[in-house]
Structure 1
Amino acid sequence: MIDYPQLLLMGAIAGFTVFLGLPVAILRNVSARVKGFLNAVSIGILVFLISDVLANAWTTVKDAASSAYAGQSSGTIALLDLTVMLAGLGLGLFMLTAYERRYAKALIVASAEPQKVVVSAEEVVDTLDSNRKRILLQRQQVAELLGNPYNLATMIAMSIGLHNFAEGLAIGQSYASGAVSLAVLLVIGFAAHNATEGFGIAGPLAASNERPTPSFLARMGLIAGGPTFLGTLIGSITASTFTKILFLSLAAGALIYVTLFMYNSGRRQTTNDVMMLGIFIGILAALLTDLIVSLGGL
């Protein structure tokens, strides 16, 4: 029998196993083909996570709807579950859209210093007065945003953090309901999954030309893994199906957004064959991890 402090410690450990996959980000002296391959493997892992997260959220919603249809529970609750899932999915998609827009705007403002260009001996024009120049600048800055591996890694970490918060809720709620053994099994299972998720964050960084600093990797680990501890803490205090569905669907929407970005970027980094091979291996690695956890009774 574990006590409450031990539960919180285990919740933290389950989240911070994400650090196990982050050292891949410091790989250097790799070819462009290998960089594209690593990016594709990350995409494959994220594709699996999208499927897994959506399946977990949808199962909860579907069970509530089936129970309501059979007259065993309230139809209002089932409708609210569905509404929360759809709202969370949409919010997850548009949340990162807003983040991207704000980040791109900051880049544009930072670089929008008036520049004087001498056209003739008598005439000086301000290049930023031209709408065409401004549009081209915005497109250039947005392209820089999409190709920035640090920003991409941050968005992935945020998405995984939402997912891990929901996992933490499951751990805490299992403990609060008296199912201590289930809580322990969930910790072990989620810890195994999170190690794979760490590679999903590291992939874009390994594909870049700059080595990330230890402090940056530490921040990514905290953003992605820390919410597991917070979810465990909150889940042990209060149980809410709505909260679980909300954070799972938020994570799904955010992961879809990030994965599409990575795919568009990856197509420019390597050949389609290498891209598909990397995605396949990423999905395979995630599936095998999930299978091993399932066979272990977790």
Structure 2
Amino acid sequence: MSNVRIATLRSWVPTIATLAIVAIVLVALAMLGGRTLPERQGPPIEQLAVERTDLTRGVIALTVRNTGPDPVQVAQAFVNDAYVDLTGGEQPIERLEAVTLRLDYPWQDGQPYLVSLLTATGVVIEHEIPAAVNTPRASGGFFAVMTLLGTYVGIIPVVLGMLFLPTLRRLGQRGTRVLLGVTVGLLVFLAVDATLEGVELAESNGGAFGGPALVVLGAVVAYLSLSAVDHRLRDRQQHAQEPGGLRLALLISTGIGLHNLGEGLAIGAAYAVGELALGAALVIGFTIQNTTEGLAIVSPLTRQRRPTVLQLLGLGILAGAPAIAGALLGAAVNNAELSAFLIGIGVGAIAQVVVQIAPSLRDKAGKILAPATASGITAGLLAMYLTGLFVV
């Protein structure tokens, strides 16, 4: 063995020894630490979060998870103060364990119900069903509806917005900066709106796996991942001499696509529990709002050579198609933790895109927030706010 390898191995000895000491201490604490501490005083802390409500004719099935520190034994169940037969909760529910409780009750379509779970210690945990509706089952027709809905609210609006590229090409250099400012305003609004939605969704489910921290985790993961992708694209651009506008359009399309994934999750989940009114109002509302996303994608291409039809179509599908996947996943899984994490990914992706666009907003004096650019950002924010009013 060479001297270099011996020196390398010796340099790792302190690190290995430190890891071994840490592992030994952790094992000792796990085995002995709990025995040396006094028992907690007071009644047990019992918390259950309802993760999913599944309604079939004459049955209400609740998937509940123990989000507290102590085991929970469900003793009885009531629906609108009426005692109902309960199966599925015979054994105590351990921390972070999830079980499905089956309540036999002749519910009626469209009626509100209040489900009360009584634990063995007398704690009452309530869950409200605003309007009972038969839970849709995964079938060919179900997947077809979700695919069609995702196409309506995702791909079609984005492609329609991209059709304005020839009109946008007539803008001068100052007009291009204003347009990029509008893009930043659109993206910032999407990021803020998604953050609020993700935090609210995470908090509504008991926070067993981190709550709002899942949104932050998703955002950081997406930001770092897209930064790595951007670095790779920059290297390819330098070797192949690709136009920078196409690279930025690709990043914008990716960021919007990840946002539309979260949007599709919300749509699919709302459809699964009967809270989504399918119809022309929904389609038109999302078309008006998401058309602005297409404008954001093509805005970096106004000063570049003409992209091919296949390139534009690819950008549109990349931005819009995730809405289909989100709708399918949201309707089939309907998991709040997963939805919060994916919404966070969309937020982080949008934040990374905004950082990429910011240098292009500088005017000749080097100012990013020049009056014209600031006006564009404000216009983007207002456009997203006003078009959002059309979404029911």
Q: TM-score range by the shorter chain?
A: 0.7 to 0.9
Structure 1 residue 155, shift from structure 2 partner = 0.7
Q: Which whole-Å deviations, capped at 9, do the CAs of 1:258-278 have from their partners, x for residues lacking one?
A: 112212211147971111111
Q: 2:234 aligns with which of 92, 98, 104?
A: 104
Structure 1 residue 180, shift from structure 2 partner = 4.9
* 1:254 aligns to 2:349 (yes or no): yes
2:358 is aligned to: 263
Cα distance in 2 for partners of 1:62, 1:228 equals 24
* 1:19 aligns to 2:159 (yes or no): yes
5 Å-filtered alignment, 1:65-214, equals 68=206, 77=208, 79-107=209-237, 110=239, 148-181=244-277, 189-206=285-302, 208-214=303-309
Aligned partners of 1:18 and 1:225 also within 8 Å: yes
Partner SS state of residue 342, structure 2: helix
Identity %: 31
Structure 1 residue 184, shift from structure 2 partner = 8.1
Deviates more, 1:55-64 or 1:185-194: 185-194
Aligned partners of 2:186 and 2:384 also within 8 Å: yes
1:117 is aligned to: none
Aligned partners of 2:195 and 2:215 also within 8 Å: no
Q: Which whole-Å deviations, capped at 9, do the CAs of 1:225-262 have from their partners, x for residues lacking one?
A: 00111111222222111221112111111111111221
Aligned partners of 2:252 and 2:296 also within 8 Å: yes
Cα distance in 2 for partners of 1:80, 1:183 equals 36
1:130 is aligned to: none
Q: 1:260–1:180: structure 2 CA closer, same or farther, 3 Å change rule?
A: closer
Structure 1 or 2, whichever has the larger Rg, is 2
Aligned partners of 1:19 and 1:221 also within 8 Å: yes
2:172 is aligned to: 31
Aligned partners of 2:268 and 2:329 also within 8 Å: yes
Identify unmatched segments of 5+ residues in structure 1: 69-74, 112-143
Cα distance in 1 for partners of 2:281, 2:335 equals 21
Cα distance in 2 for partners of 1:6, 1:19 equals 20
Letter in 1 for 2:186: I
Aligned partners of 2:286 and 2:390 also within 8 Å: no
Partner SS state of residue 35, structure 1: helix
Cα distance in 1 for partners of 2:222, 2:279 equals 27
1:51 is aligned to: 192
* 1:241 aligns to 2:336 (yes or no): yes
Cα distance in 2 for partners of 1:37, 1:18 equals 20
Cα distance in 2 for partners of 1:171, 1:188 equals 15
Structure 1 residue 33, shift from structure 2 partner = 1.3
Deviates more, 1:164-173 or 1:23-32: 23-32
CA RMSD of aligned residues (A): 2.7
1:137 is aligned to: none
Q: 1:290–1:29: structure 2 CA closer, same or farther, 3 Å change rule?
A: closer
Identify unmatched segments of 5+ residues in structure 2: 1-132
Higher helix share: 1
Letter in 1 for 2:315: M
Q: 1:269–1:227: structure 2 CA closer, same or farther, 3 Å change rule?
A: farther
Q: 1:10 aligns with which of 145, 149, 152?
A: 149
Aligned partners of 1:161 and 1:223 also within 8 Å: yes
Q: Which whole-Å deviations, capped at 9, do the CAs of 1:81-132 have from their partners, x for residues lacking one?
A: 3332221011121111111222233345x37xxxxxxxxxxxxxxxxxxxxx
Aligned length: 248
Cα distance in 2 for partners of 1:171, 1:10 equals 9
Q: 1:261–1:273: structure 2 CA closer, same or farther, 3 Å change rule?
A: same
Partner SS state of residue 171, structure 2: coil
Q: 2:372 aligns with which of 265, 274, 278?
A: 274
Cα distance in 1 for partners of 2:334, 2:279 equals 14
Letter in 1 for 2:204: D
Higher strand share: 2
Cα distance in 1 for partners of 2:360, 2:175 equals 14
Cα distance in 1 for partners of 2:266, 2:279 equals 8
Partner SS state of residue 30, structure 1: coil
Deviates more, 1:170-179 or 1:219-228: 170-179
Aligned partners of 1:167 and 1:190 also within 8 Å: no
